[in-house]
Amino acid sequence: MKIQPFHLAIPVSDLEDARKFYREVLGCGEGRSSDHWVDFNFFGHQLVIHYKPAEETEKSHSNPVDGKEVPVPHFGVVLEWDVFQEFSKLLKSKGVEFTIEPYIRFEGQPGEQATMFFKDPSGNALEFKAFRNMDQLFAQ
């Protein structure tokens, strides 16, 4: 089966702040848009940001993974190892505040990976990761 790009729609409380973040900070190409949504090329996948007013009471949740508190829910992509390293440097140079700084998770174990977490301006958690050996993407 050929892998196809995924489609993901997420809520954002300020369309223009989110548009600027995805376009200028993450470098995503912008596609179609309206007054209430914007399509982006999110590393070969379709990401649509939709305006939704901020909730008055937003609860954050996390689960412990490898000694870190991983935000739930979150989304992101798996990058090539070298691309991850360059992308994390770029994000640092743009002043992105990390929820979990870039580091190596499960070092020396099956599924060893580089990972980092940060939030967009609306509080959506993103994870970018890279596997040292892509054949171990689903290793147990």
The domain that holds 21 is classified in CATH as 3.10.180.10
Q: Provide the domain limits for residue 81.
A: 62-136
* 51 in Cβ contact with 37 (< 8 Å): yes
Residues 29 and 66 placed together within one structural domain of the fold: no
The H-assigned helical ranges of 26-127 are: 81-93
pLDDT digits over 56-66, tens only?
Answer: 656 778 888 88
The answer as to whether 2 is a domain residue is no
* 101 in Cβ contact with 118 (< 8 Å): no
Mean pLDDT by runs of 10 across the 140 residues of the chain is 84 96 97 94 96 76 88 93 97 97 93 96 96 86
Residue linked to tokens 């369309």:
15
The type of residue at 58 is E
The answer as to whether 1 is a domain residue is no
pLDDT value of residue 82: 96
Residues 67 and 130 placed together within one structural domain of the fold: yes
The answer as to whether 57 is a domain residue is no
| Domains contained in the chain, number | 2
